[in-house]
Copies of this chain bind each other. A is one copy, B any other.
Protein backbone atom coordinates (compact mmCIF):
# COMPACT_ATOMS: atom_id res chain seq x y z
CA UNK A 1 0.00 0.00 0.00
CA UNK A 2 1.25 3.46 -0.90
CA UNK A 3 1.37 5.59 2.19
CA UNK A 4 0.38 8.59 0.07
CA UNK A 5 -2.97 6.88 -0.56
CA UNK A 6 -3.63 6.43 3.15
CA UNK A 7 -5.75 9.24 4.58
CA UNK A 8 -4.50 8.68 8.13
CA UNK A 9 -1.54 10.63 9.44
CA UNK A 10 0.51 10.26 12.54
CA UNK A 11 -0.19 12.70 15.34
CA UNK A 12 2.12 14.12 17.99
CA UNK A 13 -0.56 14.03 20.65
CA UNK A 14 -3.34 11.65 21.55
CA UNK A 15 -6.66 13.10 22.79
CA UNK A 16 -6.17 14.58 26.26
CA UNK A 17 -8.80 12.35 27.83
CA UNK A 18 -7.07 9.18 26.62
CA UNK A 19 -5.13 7.67 29.51
CA UNK A 20 -4.28 4.19 28.22
CA UNK A 21 -0.91 3.69 26.50
CA UNK A 22 -2.36 1.29 23.94
CA UNK A 23 -4.99 3.77 22.76
CA UNK A 24 -2.60 6.74 22.87
CA UNK A 25 -0.16 4.97 20.56
CA UNK A 26 -2.81 3.46 18.31
CA UNK A 27 -4.48 6.83 17.88
CA UNK A 28 -1.20 8.69 17.32
CA UNK A 29 -0.08 6.14 14.70
CA UNK A 30 -3.45 6.18 12.90
CA UNK A 31 -4.68 2.68 13.76
CA UNK A 32 -7.83 3.63 15.63
CA UNK A 33 -10.09 6.62 16.10
CA UNK A 34 -11.87 7.34 19.35
CA UNK A 35 -15.61 7.81 18.83
CA UNK A 36 -16.40 8.06 22.53
CA UNK A 37 -14.97 6.57 25.73
CA UNK A 38 -14.47 2.83 25.15
CA UNK A 39 -15.67 3.06 21.54
CA UNK A 40 -13.06 2.99 18.78
CA UNK A 41 -13.26 2.86 15.00
CA UNK A 42 -10.60 0.75 13.29
CA UNK A 43 -8.83 2.66 10.54
CA UNK A 44 -7.19 0.88 7.57
CA UNK A 45 -3.97 -0.03 9.42
CA UNK A 46 -5.87 -1.04 12.55
CA UNK A 47 -8.37 -3.20 10.69
CA UNK A 48 -5.48 -5.11 9.10
CA UNK A 49 -4.14 -6.00 12.54
CA UNK A 50 -7.60 -7.07 13.73
CA UNK A 51 -7.99 -9.27 10.66
CA UNK A 52 -4.57 -10.86 11.11
CA UNK A 53 -5.34 -11.72 14.74
CA UNK A 54 -8.74 -13.08 13.70
CA UNK A 55 -7.13 -15.27 11.04
CA UNK A 56 -4.76 -16.84 13.59
CA UNK A 57 -7.65 -17.47 15.97
CA UNK A 58 -9.80 -18.81 13.12
CA UNK A 59 -7.14 -21.32 12.10
CA UNK A 60 -6.79 -22.61 15.64
CA UNK A 61 -10.54 -22.88 16.19
CA UNK A 62 -11.03 -24.72 12.89
CA UNK A 63 -8.17 -27.05 13.89
CA UNK A 64 -10.18 -28.27 16.90
CA UNK A 65 -13.19 -28.88 14.66
CA UNK A 66 -15.28 -25.77 15.29
CA UNK A 67 -17.34 -24.12 12.54
CA UNK A 68 -17.75 -20.37 12.22
CA UNK A 69 -21.15 -18.69 12.31
CA UNK A 70 -22.43 -15.21 13.08
CA UNK A 71 -25.11 -14.53 15.67
CA UNK A 72 -27.02 -11.28 15.98
CA UNK A 73 -26.60 -8.19 18.08
CA UNK A 74 -30.35 -7.78 18.66
CA UNK A 75 -31.55 -9.99 21.52
CA UNK A 76 -35.03 -10.79 22.74
CA UNK A 77 -36.04 -10.14 26.33
CA UNK A 78 -38.06 -13.37 26.48
CA UNK A 79 -34.99 -15.50 25.78
CA UNK A 80 -32.80 -13.95 28.44
CA UNK A 81 -35.58 -14.01 31.02
CA UNK A 82 -35.50 -17.81 30.77
CA UNK A 83 -31.99 -17.83 32.24
CA UNK A 84 -32.65 -14.86 34.54
CA UNK A 85 -30.03 -12.70 32.81
CA UNK A 86 -32.29 -9.97 31.42
CA UNK A 87 -32.83 -7.96 34.58
CA UNK A 88 -30.30 -5.13 35.05
CA UNK A 89 -29.95 -6.27 38.65
CA UNK A 90 -28.37 -9.50 37.42
CA UNK A 91 -26.52 -8.23 34.35
CA UNK A 92 -25.43 -4.61 34.58
CA UNK A 93 -23.91 -4.16 31.09
CA UNK A 94 -27.02 -4.36 28.90
CA UNK A 95 -27.76 -1.73 26.32
CA UNK A 96 -31.53 -1.92 25.78
CA UNK A 97 -33.95 -0.33 23.36
CA UNK A 98 -37.34 -1.17 21.91
CA UNK A 99 -38.98 -2.09 18.62
CA UNK A 100 -41.67 0.11 17.09
CA UNK A 101 -44.33 -2.13 18.60
CA UNK A 102 -42.96 -1.48 22.07
CA UNK A 103 -41.21 -4.86 22.58
CA UNK A 104 -37.99 -4.48 24.53
CA UNK A 105 -34.80 -5.66 22.84
CA UNK A 106 -31.21 -5.84 24.07
CA UNK A 107 -27.87 -5.68 22.27
CA UNK A 108 -25.69 -8.77 22.58
CA UNK A 109 -23.04 -8.54 25.31
CA UNK A 110 -22.66 -12.36 25.31
CA UNK A 111 -24.19 -15.15 23.24
CA UNK A 112 -24.54 -18.35 25.28
CA UNK A 113 -28.32 -17.94 25.38
CA UNK A 114 -29.13 -17.38 21.68
CA UNK A 115 -26.67 -20.03 20.50
CA UNK A 116 -28.05 -22.57 22.94
CA UNK A 117 -31.62 -21.76 21.94
CA UNK A 118 -30.62 -22.08 18.28
CA UNK A 119 -29.16 -25.51 19.01
CA UNK A 120 -32.50 -26.76 20.33
CA UNK A 121 -33.64 -26.72 16.71
CA UNK A 122 -30.79 -28.91 15.49
CA UNK A 123 -29.54 -31.18 18.26
CA UNK A 124 -31.89 -34.06 18.97
CA UNK A 125 -29.95 -37.28 19.21
CA UNK A 126 -26.56 -38.47 20.45
CA UNK A 127 -25.73 -38.75 16.74
CA UNK A 128 -25.85 -34.95 16.47
CA UNK A 129 -23.19 -34.50 19.17
CA UNK A 130 -20.65 -33.13 19.67
CA UNK A 131 -21.13 -29.72 17.99
CA UNK A 132 -18.56 -26.92 18.18
CA UNK A 133 -19.23 -23.42 16.87
CA UNK A 134 -17.58 -20.02 17.14
CA UNK A 135 -18.01 -16.49 15.91
CA UNK A 136 -16.29 -13.13 15.74
CA UNK A 137 -18.89 -10.76 17.07
CA UNK A 138 -19.00 -7.07 17.92
CA UNK A 139 -20.12 -7.13 21.54
CA UNK A 140 -21.80 -4.15 23.13
CA UNK A 141 -21.38 -3.71 26.88
CA UNK A 142 -22.58 -0.74 28.84
CA UNK A 143 -19.50 -0.50 31.07
CA UNK A 144 -19.68 2.05 33.88
CA UNK A 145 -16.10 3.13 33.15
CA UNK A 146 -13.98 2.61 30.07
CA UNK A 147 -10.47 3.87 30.64
CA UNK A 148 -8.21 1.09 29.36
CA UNK A 149 -8.30 2.01 25.69
CA UNK A 150 -9.15 -0.90 23.42
CA UNK A 151 -8.48 -3.32 26.29
CA UNK A 152 -11.94 -2.76 27.79
CA UNK A 153 -14.39 -1.25 25.39
CA UNK A 154 -18.09 -0.59 25.32
CA UNK A 155 -17.94 -1.96 21.77
CA UNK A 156 -15.32 -4.56 20.94
CA UNK A 157 -14.62 -7.62 18.83
CA UNK A 158 -14.69 -10.97 20.58
CA UNK A 159 -14.22 -14.52 19.44
CA UNK A 160 -16.62 -16.71 21.35
CA UNK A 161 -16.76 -20.46 20.91
CA UNK A 162 -19.30 -22.91 22.30
CA UNK A 163 -19.09 -26.66 22.74
CA UNK A 164 -22.10 -28.96 22.96
CA UNK A 165 -21.27 -32.46 24.16
CA UNK A 166 -23.17 -35.44 25.51
CA UNK A 167 -21.35 -35.94 28.76
CA UNK A 168 -18.59 -34.76 31.05
CA UNK A 169 -15.99 -36.99 29.39
CA UNK A 170 -16.61 -35.59 25.89
CA UNK A 171 -16.76 -32.11 27.40
CA UNK A 172 -13.37 -32.44 29.08
CA UNK A 173 -11.80 -33.80 25.93
CA UNK A 174 -12.80 -30.69 23.99
CA UNK A 175 -12.10 -28.37 26.93
CA UNK A 176 -8.51 -29.60 27.01
CA UNK A 177 -8.17 -29.31 23.24
CA UNK A 178 -9.42 -25.72 23.54
CA UNK A 179 -6.81 -24.96 26.23
CA UNK A 180 -4.12 -26.14 23.83
CA UNK A 181 -5.63 -24.13 20.94
CA UNK A 182 -5.61 -21.04 23.16
CA UNK A 183 -1.97 -21.59 24.08
CA UNK A 184 -1.24 -21.84 20.34
CA UNK A 185 -3.01 -18.54 19.66
CA UNK A 186 -1.12 -16.64 22.36
CA UNK A 187 2.16 -18.19 21.28
CA UNK A 188 1.54 -17.20 17.65
CA UNK A 189 0.73 -13.58 18.46
CA UNK A 190 3.93 -13.33 20.49
CA UNK A 191 2.46 -13.35 24.01
CA UNK A 192 3.06 -17.03 24.79
CA UNK A 193 5.90 -16.48 27.26
CA UNK A 194 3.99 -14.01 29.39
CA UNK A 195 0.55 -15.63 29.23
CA UNK A 196 -0.51 -18.00 32.01
CA UNK A 197 -3.31 -20.49 32.32
CA UNK A 198 -4.98 -19.17 35.45
CA UNK A 199 -7.38 -20.85 37.84
CA UNK A 200 -10.34 -18.59 38.52
CA UNK A 201 -13.79 -18.77 40.02
CA UNK A 202 -16.00 -21.36 38.36
CA UNK A 203 -19.54 -20.24 39.10
CA UNK A 204 -22.45 -22.58 39.73
CA UNK A 205 -21.35 -25.69 37.92
CA UNK A 206 -17.60 -26.19 38.29
CA UNK A 207 -15.10 -25.21 40.95
CA UNK A 208 -12.83 -23.41 38.49
CA UNK A 209 -12.99 -21.59 35.25
CA UNK A 210 -9.77 -21.01 33.37
CA UNK A 211 -8.48 -17.64 32.35
CA UNK A 212 -5.56 -16.83 30.11
CA UNK A 213 -3.82 -13.92 31.80
CA UNK A 214 -1.03 -11.94 30.15
CA UNK A 215 1.39 -10.17 32.47
CA UNK A 216 1.01 -6.46 31.80
CA UNK A 217 1.31 -3.32 33.90
CA UNK A 218 -1.90 -2.00 32.37
CA UNK A 219 -3.83 -5.08 33.45
CA UNK A 220 -6.87 -4.77 35.68
CA UNK A 221 -6.47 -8.20 37.29
CA UNK A 222 -4.18 -9.42 40.06
CA UNK A 223 -2.91 -12.96 39.65
CA UNK A 224 -0.44 -15.16 41.52
CA UNK A 225 2.02 -16.79 39.16
CA UNK A 226 3.91 -20.06 39.57
CA UNK A 227 6.60 -19.47 36.95
CA UNK A 228 8.08 -22.94 37.12
CA UNK A 229 4.78 -24.76 36.70
CA UNK A 230 3.62 -22.11 34.19
CA UNK A 231 0.27 -21.62 35.87
CA UNK A 232 -1.39 -18.95 37.95
CA UNK A 233 -4.18 -18.44 40.43
CA UNK A 234 -6.56 -15.51 40.29
CA UNK A 235 -6.71 -13.52 43.52
CA UNK A 236 -10.41 -14.37 43.81
CA UNK A 237 -9.70 -18.07 44.46
CA UNK A 238 -6.38 -17.80 46.33
CA UNK A 239 -7.19 -19.85 49.41
CA UNK A 240 -5.19 -22.45 51.36
CA UNK A 241 -7.63 -25.14 50.15
CA UNK A 242 -7.11 -24.25 46.50
CA UNK A 243 -3.32 -24.12 46.89
CA UNK A 244 -3.37 -27.57 48.48
CA UNK A 245 -5.62 -28.87 45.73
CA UNK A 246 -3.28 -27.54 43.02
CA UNK A 247 -0.27 -28.80 44.96
CA UNK A 248 1.49 -25.44 45.00
CA UNK A 249 2.91 -23.39 47.83
CA UNK A 250 2.06 -19.75 48.50
CA UNK A 251 5.73 -18.81 48.74
CA UNK A 252 6.37 -20.00 45.17
CA UNK A 253 3.80 -17.55 43.82
CA UNK A 254 4.55 -14.03 42.60
CA UNK A 255 1.86 -11.36 42.57
CA UNK A 256 1.49 -9.78 39.11
CA UNK A 257 -0.81 -7.41 37.26
CA UNK A 258 -2.33 -9.08 34.24
CA UNK A 259 -4.88 -8.76 31.43
CA UNK A 260 -7.43 -11.49 30.88
CA UNK A 261 -7.01 -12.18 27.15
CA UNK A 262 -9.05 -15.38 27.14
CA UNK A 263 -11.32 -17.40 29.35
CA UNK A 264 -12.98 -20.77 29.21
CA UNK A 265 -15.90 -21.86 31.23
CA UNK A 266 -18.00 -24.93 31.86
CA UNK A 267 -21.71 -24.30 32.12
CA UNK A 268 -22.43 -27.99 32.68
CA UNK A 269 -26.09 -28.65 31.98
CA UNK A 270 -27.39 -25.51 33.70
CA UNK A 271 -28.21 -23.51 30.57
CA UNK A 272 -29.40 -26.57 28.71
CA UNK A 273 -31.90 -27.26 31.50
CA UNK A 274 -33.06 -23.64 31.45
CA UNK A 275 -33.45 -23.52 27.67
CA UNK A 276 -34.61 -27.08 27.05
CA UNK A 277 -31.61 -28.36 25.11
CA UNK A 278 -31.72 -32.13 25.45
CA UNK A 279 -30.75 -35.12 23.34
CA UNK A 280 -31.82 -38.77 23.23
CA UNK A 281 -29.11 -41.32 23.96
CA UNK A 282 -28.80 -44.82 22.45
CA UNK A 283 -31.49 -46.11 24.79
CA UNK A 284 -33.88 -43.27 24.02
CA UNK A 285 -33.36 -41.49 27.33
CA UNK A 286 -33.64 -37.71 27.20
CA UNK A 287 -30.58 -36.00 28.65
CA UNK A 288 -29.36 -32.41 28.92
CA UNK A 289 -26.49 -31.32 26.69
CA UNK A 290 -23.24 -30.13 28.34
CA UNK A 291 -22.18 -26.58 27.37
CA UNK A 292 -18.72 -25.05 27.38
CA UNK A 293 -17.94 -21.42 26.50
CA UNK A 294 -14.57 -20.15 25.26
CA UNK A 295 -13.75 -16.48 24.70
CA UNK A 296 -10.86 -14.44 23.33
CA UNK A 297 -11.09 -10.65 23.24
CA UNK A 298 -9.70 -9.90 19.78
CA UNK A 299 -9.37 -6.13 20.15
CA UNK A 300 -8.26 -6.52 23.77
CA UNK A 301 -5.53 -8.86 22.52
CA UNK A 302 -4.47 -6.19 20.03
CA UNK A 303 -4.25 -3.64 22.85
CA UNK A 304 -2.30 -6.07 25.02
CA UNK A 305 0.22 -6.67 22.23
CA UNK A 306 0.75 -2.91 21.95
CA UNK A 307 1.21 -2.57 25.72
CA UNK A 308 3.58 -5.53 25.86
CA UNK A 309 6.02 -4.56 23.11
CA UNK A 310 5.87 -0.77 22.63
CA UNK A 311 9.00 1.23 23.39
CA UNK A 312 9.63 4.95 23.77
CA UNK A 313 9.52 5.43 19.99
CA UNK A 314 6.18 3.77 19.41
CA UNK A 315 4.50 0.48 18.60
CA UNK A 316 6.48 -2.72 17.94
CA UNK A 317 4.37 -5.34 16.19
CA UNK A 318 5.29 -9.03 16.19
CA UNK A 319 5.58 -10.20 12.58
CA UNK A 320 2.52 -12.45 12.94
CA UNK A 321 0.06 -9.59 13.46
CA UNK A 322 1.76 -6.60 11.84
CA UNK A 323 -0.35 -4.78 9.24
CA UNK A 324 2.56 -5.13 6.80
CA UNK A 325 5.74 -7.19 6.79
CA UNK A 326 7.90 -4.35 5.43
CA UNK A 327 7.91 -0.58 5.62
CA UNK A 328 9.69 0.62 2.49
CA UNK A 329 10.93 4.15 3.10
CA UNK A 330 12.03 6.13 0.08
CA UNK A 331 14.36 9.06 0.73
CA UNK A 332 14.14 10.19 -2.89
CA UNK A 333 13.35 13.83 -2.27
CA UNK A 334 13.79 15.31 -5.74
CA UNK A 335 16.10 12.54 -6.95
CA UNK A 336 14.30 10.76 -9.81
CA UNK A 337 16.78 7.87 -9.84
CA UNK A 338 16.22 7.03 -6.19
CA UNK A 339 12.48 7.37 -6.70
CA UNK A 340 12.63 4.93 -9.62
CA UNK A 341 14.71 2.49 -7.59
CA UNK A 342 12.18 2.61 -4.73
CA UNK A 343 9.20 2.25 -7.10
CA UNK A 344 10.84 -0.73 -8.79
CA UNK A 345 11.56 -2.45 -5.50
CA UNK A 346 8.00 -1.83 -4.28
CA UNK A 347 6.62 -3.47 -7.40
CA UNK A 348 9.03 -6.40 -7.12
CA UNK A 349 8.24 -7.03 -3.46
CA UNK A 350 4.48 -6.85 -3.90
CA UNK A 351 4.64 -9.01 -7.04
CA UNK A 352 6.54 -11.55 -4.93
CA UNK A 353 3.57 -11.61 -2.55
CA UNK A 354 5.18 -9.60 0.25
CA UNK A 355 3.04 -7.09 2.13
CA UNK A 356 4.63 -3.67 2.00
CA UNK A 357 3.70 -0.21 3.24
CA UNK A 358 5.55 2.07 0.84
CA UNK A 359 6.35 5.52 2.16
CA UNK A 360 6.30 7.39 -1.13
CA UNK A 361 5.38 10.68 0.55
CA UNK A 362 7.17 13.92 -0.08
CA UNK A 363 8.55 14.38 3.45
CA UNK A 364 11.84 14.72 5.31
CA UNK A 365 13.84 11.64 6.29
CA UNK A 366 13.54 12.42 10.00
CA UNK A 367 9.76 12.65 9.79
CA UNK A 368 9.56 9.41 7.82
CA UNK A 369 11.74 7.54 10.32
CA UNK A 370 9.80 8.87 13.30
CA UNK A 371 6.52 7.85 11.64
CA UNK A 372 7.90 4.40 10.83
CA UNK A 373 9.02 3.92 14.43
CA UNK A 374 5.60 4.98 15.70
CA UNK A 375 3.73 2.71 13.26
CA UNK A 376 5.92 -0.22 14.29
CA UNK A 377 6.20 -2.49 11.26
CA UNK A 378 8.90 -5.14 12.02
CA UNK A 379 11.25 -4.47 9.10
CA UNK A 380 12.11 -1.12 7.56
CA UNK A 381 13.81 -0.95 4.18
CA UNK A 382 15.53 2.36 3.53
CA UNK A 383 16.20 3.54 -0.02
CA UNK A 384 18.61 6.47 -0.30
CA UNK A 385 21.67 7.51 -2.25
CA UNK A 386 23.66 4.61 -0.87
CA UNK A 387 21.17 2.04 -2.14
CA UNK A 388 21.55 3.50 -5.59
CA UNK A 389 25.35 3.43 -5.42
CA UNK A 390 25.80 -0.04 -3.94
CA UNK A 391 22.60 -1.78 -5.03
CA UNK A 392 22.16 -2.77 -1.40
CA UNK A 393 19.38 -1.49 0.82
CA UNK A 394 19.40 -0.82 4.52
CA UNK A 395 17.20 -3.23 6.47
CA UNK A 396 16.34 -2.07 9.98
CA UNK A 397 14.79 -4.31 12.61
CA UNK A 398 12.22 -2.25 14.53
CA UNK A 399 12.51 -4.31 17.70
CA UNK A 400 16.30 -4.33 18.11
CA UNK A 401 17.28 -1.42 15.90
CA UNK A 402 19.79 -3.73 14.23
CA UNK A 403 20.81 -2.58 10.75
CA UNK A 404 21.94 -4.90 7.97
CA UNK A 405 22.56 -4.32 4.29
CA UNK A 406 21.02 -6.68 1.79
CA UNK A 407 20.79 -6.93 -1.97
CA UNK A 408 17.51 -7.05 -3.87
CA UNK A 409 17.72 -10.76 -4.54
CA UNK A 410 18.32 -11.55 -0.88
CA UNK A 411 15.39 -9.34 0.12
CA UNK A 412 13.04 -11.08 -2.28
CA UNK A 413 14.07 -14.48 -0.99
CA UNK A 414 13.58 -13.69 2.69
Seen from chain A, the residues whose Cβ lies within 8 Å of a Cβ on chain B are 1, 5-9, 33, 35-36, 39-44, 46-47, 50, 65, 67-76, 95-97, 99-100, 105, 107, 114, 118-119, 121-123, 128, 131, 133, 138, 140, 142-144, 154-155, 164
Contacts and interface: CB of A to CB of B under 8 A. Distances in A.
A313 to B, nearest CB: 22
A65 B8 contact: no
A40 to B, nearest CB: 7
19 contacts: A5-B65, A7-B123, A7-B131, A7-B164, A33-B121, A35-B71, A35-B75, A35-B76, A35-B114, A36-B74, A36-B76, A40-B72, A41-B118, A43-B69, A44-B69, A44-B133, A73-B140, A74-B140, A95-B97
Contact of A47 (B70, B107, B128): B70
Given A7-B67, A43-B69, 14 more contacts: A7-B133, A35-B71, A35-B76, A39-B72, A39-B74, A41-B69, A44-B67, A44-B68, A44-B69, A47-B68, A73-B107, A74-B154, A99-B142, A138-B138
A82 to B, nearest CB: 14
A97 B96 contact: yes
Nearest to A124: B9
Given A73-B73, A95-B97, A133-B44, A118 B33 contact: yes
A27 to B, nearest CB: 10
Contacts of A8: 122
Copies of this chain in its oligomeric complex? 2
Nearest to A123: B7
A36 B71 CA distance: 12
Looking at A1, A9, A69, the one whose CB has the most chain B CB atoms below 10 A away is: A69
Given A7-B119, A7-B128, A155 B44 contact: no
A122 B40 CA distance: 16
Contacts of A96: 97
Nearest to A144: B100
A320 B154 CA distance: 37
A44 B70 CA distance: 8
B155 A74 contact: yes
A36 B72 CA distance: 10
A9 B114 contact: no
Given A7-B131, A138-B138, A71 B41 contact: yes
A201 to B, nearest CB: 24
A131 B4 CA distance: 10
A41 B128 contact: no
A134 to B, nearest CB: 10
B100 A97 contact: no
Can you list the 4 inter-chain pairs with the closest CB atoms, starting with the nearest? A7-B131, A44-B67, A42-B70, A95-B97
Contacts of A143: 100
Nearest to A40: B72
Contacts of A42: 69-70
Contact of A107 (B35, B40, B97, B121): B97
B95 A69 contact: no
Given A39-B74, A40-B72, A107-B97, A67 B140 contact: no
Contact of A97 (B76, B97, B114, B155): B97
Contacts of A47: 68-70
A191 to B, nearest CB: 23
Looking at A40, A95, A119, A142, the one whose CB has the most chain B CB atoms below 10 A away is: A95
Looking at A41, A72, A73, A143, the one whose CB has the most chain B CB atoms below 10 A away is: A72
Nearest to A127: B362
A41 B7 contact: no
Nearest to A33: B118
A6 B69 CA distance: 11
Nearest to A145: B100
Nearest to A100: B144
